[in-house]
């Protein structure tokens, strides 16, 4: 019996494609599971008295933070530009004071085929191991906190030309939950002209509606 070589090649390619697709599905599932676990852990931390931005009355009525559904299209590989001269910048806080940061670099990417960019900051005291990215977008004041949100990103390798920005992990400043906190205000060059429908939504304090 002669075996059709083209058929064998076709079956082989289908097998390879199947493994590839299976790997993508498992990787996505693993990512979504890790994201859900992180959100559950944050909810648990907000229930605890130590370290929670919520006061006792808020914690008594607290159920869960609100999030957009996970969307892998908001997990982007941005083009990375390191600034040759990392100037010191004072980012204003909501209490009128300011914190000192280094303008570390810039990330360029697209959202809905529209080019965007964000300045990446690093705490000037040298104590942080992650980049700080405060930003605003067109959801602010509607489905997300009006004052903007924050994003953290790992410091990339020295030779890296890309940086991952995962907006599914965008989070609110503590000012969104309690006016007693002072929070960095996103600078003008980090105002995105699009909606970022990912990450944490606005906070509803049920204790104020009793």
Gap between the Cα atoms of 56 and 48, Å rounded = 9
Long-range contacts for 191-194 (Cβ within 8 Å, ≥24 apart)?
Answer: 191/135, 191/136, 191/137, 192/111, 192/116, 192/118, 192/135, 192/136, 192/137, 192/138, 193/114, 193/116, 193/138, 194/111, 194/112, 194/114, 194/116, 194/137, 194/138
Q: How many CA atoms lie within 13 A of 32 on its CB side?
A: 12
- DSSP H helical segments within the chain, as ranges? 5-47, 56-60
| Helices and strands in the chain, H and E counts | 2, 7
Rounded-to-integer distance, Cα 123 and Cα 4, Å: 64
CA gap 21, 150 in Å, rounded: 33
pTM confidence score:
0.84
SS3 146: coil
Spatial neighbors of 193 by CB under 8 A, at least 6 apart, are: 114, 116, 138
Q: What does the angle CA 48 – CA 66 – CA 118 come to, to the nearest 5 degrees?
A: 105
Strand ranges in 52-168 using DSSP code E only, listed in sequence order: 75-82, 88-92, 98-111, 114-123, 130-135, 149-154, 162-166
Say what the pLDDT of residue 128 is: 83
Supply the pLDDT for residue 120.
98
pLDDT on residue 49: 85
Biggest alpha carbon distance in the chain? 84
Give pLDDT, residue 3: 46
What's residue 11's pLDDT? Answer: 47
Q: Using 50 as the pLDDT threshold, list the residues of the chain that sit under it.
A: 3, 6-8, 10-13, 15, 17-26, 207-210
In angstroms, rounded to a whole number, what is the distance separating the alpha carbons of residues 107 and 80? 5
Contacts of 107 (CB under 8 A, 6+ apart): 78, 79, 80, 81, 117, 118, 120, 133, 153, 163, 165
């Amino acid at each position: 019996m002669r075996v059709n070589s083209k058929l064998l090649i076709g079956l082989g390619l289908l097998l390879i494609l199947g493994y590839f697709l299976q790997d993508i599905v498992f990787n996505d599932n693993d990512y979504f599971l890790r994201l859900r676990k992180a959100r559950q852990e944050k909810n648990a931390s907000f229930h605890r008295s130590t370290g929670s931005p919520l006061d006792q009355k808020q914690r008594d009525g607290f159920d869960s933070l609100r999030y957009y559904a996970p969307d892998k299209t908001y997990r982007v590989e941005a083009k990375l530009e390191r600034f040759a001269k990392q100037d010191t910048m004072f980012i204003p806080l909501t209490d009128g004071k300011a914190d000192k940061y280094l303008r570390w670099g810039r990330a360029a990417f697209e959202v809905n085929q529209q080019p965007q960019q964000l300045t990446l900051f690093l705490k000037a005291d040298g104590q942080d191991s992650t980049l700080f990215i405060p930003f605003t977008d067109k959801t602010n004041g509607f489905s997300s906190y009006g004052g903007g949100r924050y994003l953290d990103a790992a410091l990339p390798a020295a030779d890296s030309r890309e940086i991952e920005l995962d907006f599914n992990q965008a989070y609110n400043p503590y000012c969104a939950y309690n006016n007693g906190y002072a929070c960095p205000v996103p600078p003008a060059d980090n105002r995105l002209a699009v909606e970022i429908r990912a990450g944490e939504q606005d906070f509803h304090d049920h204790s104020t509606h009793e």
